[in-house]
């Protein structure tokens, strides 16, 4: 006799279009939203409005966020696309990280080391409940603290995206993609 769990597992195995979306629950997405919002604030406050760098920084921050969402929504039909878009999000975050490091260097400001007590304080904010860009606004008062805070947040986001990419790769290796599901469904239909 087949129990309900076996039927549910069998149903999930035979689905062609898998459940997808849910990106708003991902920590990497939540961090990317904060990075985007704070980058907009940072560039408005510290980057000349006619500078091309300003637009590029905002676009990189936006791309980091949007590609996570787009990849998650595409995952039902294409795990390959999801992995590719999360990879693009990760690359956009890296581009933004370099922009903040360049800002510090070009303005002769200090890059705080990972063991700096100020960095430890920023890291602790990760555990704040209902964390938003407002959680970090006190660091926006000076360009050095703002850029270093952003660097810390981007490092955290990159760590989360790296872990997500590893998990997506494992899932793909285990479960395959749409072509495999279509092939299996066709075989099941034909009774092979």
Residue 107 main-chain phi, psi, to 5 deg: -105, 15
* Cα 71 to Cα 108: distance, rounded to the nearest angstrom: 38
Categorize the per-residue pLDDT at 58 as very low, low, confident or very high, splitting at 50, 70 and 90.
very high
- Asked if 90 contacts 158 with a C-beta cutoff of 8 angstroms, the reply is yes
**Distance set, CA 67 to CA 30, 55, 74 (Å):** 13, 18, 10
Categorize the per-residue pLDDT at 154 as very low, low, confident or very high, splitting at 50, 70 and 90.
very high
Q: Which residues have CB under 8 Å from 28's CB, separation 6+?
A: 68, 89, 157, 160, 161, 163, 164
pLDDT at 4: 34
pLDDT at 76: 75
List pLDDT tens digits, range 123-153: 999 999 899 999 999 999 999 999 999 999 9
User: Residues of the chain with pLDDT > 90: what percent?
Assistant: 70
Average pLDDT over residues 83-96: 97
* pLDDT, the chain, mean: 87
Categorize the per-residue pLDDT at 1 as very low, low, confident or very high, splitting at 50, 70 and 90.
very low
């Amino acid at each position: 006799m087949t129990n309900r769990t076996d039927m549910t597992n069998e149903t999930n195995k035979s689905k062609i279009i898998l459940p997808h979306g849910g990106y708003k629950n991902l920590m990497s997405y939540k961090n990317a939203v904060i990075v985007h919002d704070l980058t907009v604030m940072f560039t408005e406050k510290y980057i000349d409005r006619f500078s091309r760098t300003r637009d590029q920084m905002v676009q990189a921050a936006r791309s980091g966020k949007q590609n996570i969402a787009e990849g998650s929504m595409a995952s039902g039909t294409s795990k390959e696309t999801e992995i590719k878009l999360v990879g693009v999000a990760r690359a956009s975050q890296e581009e933004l990280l370099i922009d903040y490091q360049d800002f510090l260097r070009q303005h002769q400001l200090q890059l705080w080391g990972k063991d700096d007590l100020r960095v430890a304080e920023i890291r602790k904010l990760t555990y704040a409940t209902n964390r938003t860009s407002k959680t970090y606004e006190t660091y926006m008062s000076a360009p050095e603290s703002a850029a270093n805070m952003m660097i810390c947040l981007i490092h955290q986001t990159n760590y989360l995206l790296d872990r997500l990419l590893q998990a997506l790769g494992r899932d793909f290796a285990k479960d395959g993609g749409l072509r495999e599901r279509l092939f299996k469904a066709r075989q099941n239909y034909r009774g092979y």
